[in-house]
Structure 1
Amino acid sequence: MTQSTLGDTSGTTPSAKSSSRNRSPFRANLSKADYERAFDILEQCSGAACLPDFKERAVEAISEHFALRHVSFFAGATFHTVFEDSAPLTAGKTAKMLPEYQDRWARYDIFGTPAAMRQLVSSGVSSLDELQAMGQLPAAADAYVRYFLSSTWRMQTAAALRLELSAGHTALLGMFDPEPGKIGASEAATLRLLSQQMSAMARGLPASKPQAALARLSVRQRQVVRLVADGLSNAQIAEILSLAEDSVKKYVTRILTTTGCQSRMELALLARAQRI
């Protein structure tokens, strides 16, 4: 965990900084079981080949290891646009909550308040319990909690985990449960550790499965893709690469299957976007 995760220690001596880190509740609350849970989640997410795959693994892992039944994954180009994600990944009741949320409540989300944003940017995690403990919530956020989360959907636990994605994009993994207190001090501390490590994974992932598939193509397949992107026919590609035209056709068919592209045009656009 970085120093920023543990709080501001500016103006203290090196020994005082060390002492401050040792006293931090984010570290002090982590037990062996907490670290094991974090490692299990990271291992579950580590095999993701692209962002969509990572989203699915992250939601499943968080739900399983924190016993949270309702989890969502929103992403956006900036922190503020995360809440406007038109096609987030949802699990449990968050799928049923989504239409009302998008239509009425997204702009009032408690995790978009200044206090929550400060927590999410500085430590990667914010929870409803922590925000309520700080004092009175803004009126709109309080209405969101009272009427949307509590009265309509009976959610007593709510928390958000912030992740950094590629190209400077941001994600918020929302966690909800009808049982109160599901995100306590040790859970929040574990999630703060996960925020950094999962962000490191997510930042290096391509945004789509076809992009991930392009990265796994052989040298010869990538040569074919580049020529397809240049608009050449199978006959022209065969002449340039000294291959039989039938071999080029087989290459193109296999590449389309591997990347999930439906046509040469789609493959060409993908290759140009990725500068392959």
Structure 2
Amino acid sequence: MKKAGIVGIDVHKLDKREVPEMGGLALLLSISLVALALVRADWVVSIFLLVGLVGILDDLVNLRQSHKVILTFFSTSPLLFYIKRNYITILALKIKLGIIALLVFWLYIVVSANLVNMLAGFNGLEVGTSSIIFLVIALLSEGDVRKLALVAFFASLGFLYWNRYPARIFPGDTGTLSLGALIGILAILGELEFPVAIMLIPHTIDFLLKARVRFKGKSLGRTRVLEDGTLVPPPYPSFLGMLMRVKPMKEWELVLTVLFLEACLGILAILLA
């Protein structure tokens, strides 16, 4: 990627180093190949790869947020032919919605993909939070869903080794969109939409805060880095900016804080499942 000029600037480092981008290709290939070898999950892998293609396009041409959402809708549409469940599960309740359930599941996966894609930008953050969610899905599920969740968990851990602070590669939207979509798919297949929604609370808060400025926060200013590495929150509202305002932190401290919160939400999800 670096030789091809596909790089991103690590804006939270003082030297603004260039880091290879679009490393999510490794996740797409490893998860897809192992998943196909372990279980009959052709349609799951197909949607996973289609969303990955949207991420590749975004990494190459920098799509607008609205365009990413629209393309994610199209790329996840095949699930309408494979999901047969007509109810949603909340705690111990099964709420029958008829055919509307399919639309709810479709929206759930699209939202999951874009939420994971949005809470991003710091070394190890996106893949780290996703790996925790995959682990919890594996603990709460069984059969093929558990196998797929474990494949995604270990692939994410493998990638995290290279993406942790200081990152030697970025997942890009190729990785974040596809991981987010896979989280949504496994949640639906395992009837875990409520526990997974709990673990996506930080992502949802971030979405709601950024919606207040119509997702144009970057034009208002970015997170700055002081000489000692301490982060200065951006001038627009965001979940990560909120944490930085509570306590000044360096990048690795911020990421560890979010991962700790995600782990706590994972424990809550397990208790409520």
TM-score, normalised to structure 1, is 0.24
TM-score, normalised to structure 2, is 0.25
Tell me which of the two structures has the higher relative contact order, counting C-alpha pairs closer than 8 angstroms and 6 or more residues apart: 2
Q: Which structure has the bigger radius of gyration?
A: 1
